[in-house]
Structure 1
């Protein structure tokens, strides 16, 4: 279990701790946020509420540590998180958490209903997948992800789409964790504002590197830079 500190109850890997999920609240969530923040996965305020930003941080941690990416903090996720944060030291008791329904942190929203964390992940994906491409090609990559968000063929969250197995080469080779440049950030905002240079594409690939026969079978829409966009 979590190592208890003086005058502090056992941490969230205690046998009696329930699975933590969206909108859970209290000291266990506060400690989890601190540990995720210690590792750099969580960048929001430590307030003891399992909000959307916290769930996205959990999903990123799970992906990076080879766990099932479901956003739920069960026994195995707790164990891995503890082992990864043995050097974290609790400095003070958890603050009182607002009663349910009051002062609930709300993610930044836009026309797609995305949080700021989603937008940041979009920018990282565009940067990792399309840096060096013409600007219109970067916007097109962002548009493909948003097109997938609206399609019944794909997960219904940005995190689910980006981390879907074998979906993006940048996830497989780790480039997804690079910090996006201003061009990628601007491309995401243009795509969110309705610009879709891909022509409604759901897929794209680099013909010089593609090894999948299946991707070549998709109806092609256009080519932008090194990428072919298709349905």
Structure 2
């Protein structure tokens, strides 16, 4: 399916993204700590169970993440750390959205092709050309066909969730693509003009 198609409306952002995230530090205990633990677990920095408490394990995980991404290593999740973390990870609500998009747009594709669709969302999340939230990327007007034709409302299967998770963890079989389209149905000359990175199944991926 083409990535450029009309969107019926932009949905509300999930809880916790409508306003700036609070500063989290050792001893913090609130809903955003759950969010933090989920993201750090997804990226492989935090392996303990989620309990909503900013304990020593979370502190170590945050420091490791900060070191890996060139941030000040202070073990405190302030605006800068939140900003980078949200560009390279998703929370549970966003994972559901990503899986729904994968199922709607690419359920007939190979597993690699499904990961690739999710990777485009992650690449857009990291690009200054697009919205800086998963919901903003997915529901951006003229973004994904599945939003306006109703397929996004279908229930994703386990494979879609696994593909979404792999993409959120950093697998990018598109080599940095921020667009994709079906060459059998694409009519946009502009889309064809984009530098192509790879073809996977029925989709061509491009920058």
Pairwise TM-score range, normalised by the shorter structure: 0.5 to 0.7
Structure-1 residue corresponding to 2:148? 172
- In structure 2, the residue matched to 1:191 is 167
TM-score (norm 2): 0.62
Q: 1:186 to 1:165 in 2, by over 3 A?
A: same
Aligned: 1:152 with 2:152: no
Indicate how the Cα distance of structure 1 residues 206 and 115 shifts in structure 2: closer, same or farther if over 3 A, else same. Answer: same
> Hey, what's the Cα distance between the residues in 2 that align with 1:167 and 1:217?
18
1:70-85 superposed matches below 5 A: 71=13
In the alignment, does 2:102 pair up with 1:126? yes
Count of residues in correspondence between the two structures: 139
Q: Which runs of 5+ in 2 are unaligned?
A: 1-6, 15-27, 44-87
Aligned-partner Cα distance in 2 for 1:215–1:151? 18
Match of 1:105 in 2: 31
Alpha-carbon separation, structure 1, partners of 2:96 and 2:13: 18
The alignment partner of 1:221 has SS state of strand
Which is bigger in relative contact order (C-alpha 8 A, separation at least 6)? 2
The offset of 1:193, in angstroms, is 1.9
When the two chains are superposed, the root-mean-square deviation of aligned CA atoms in Å is 2.3
Query: Is 1:142 aligned with 2:142?
Result: no
1:114 and 1:138 map into 2 onto residues whose CA distance is 17
Please say if residues 166 and 172 of structure 1, whose CA atoms lie closer than 8 Å, have aligned partners that are also in contact.
Answer: no
Q: Give the Å deviation of 1:69.
A: 4.7
Deviation of the 1:70 alpha carbon? 5.7
Unpaired runs of at least 5, structure 1: 1-62, 73-101
Written as runs of structure 1 = structure 2, the 5 A alignment for 1:205-224 is 205-224=181-200
- Deviant stretches of 4+, over 3 Å: 68-72
Distance 2:158 2:11 in 1: 29
Deviations 1:69-99 (A, max 9, x none): 5659xxxxxxxxxxxxxxxxxxxxxxxxxxx
- Aligned pairs for 1:31-50 (under 5 A) are none
1:145, 1:113 → 2: CA distance?
Answer: 11
| Larger helix share, 1 or 2 | 2
- Residues 89 and 169 in structure 2, CA contact (< 8 A), matched pair in contact too: no
Distance 2:203 2:11 in 1: 29
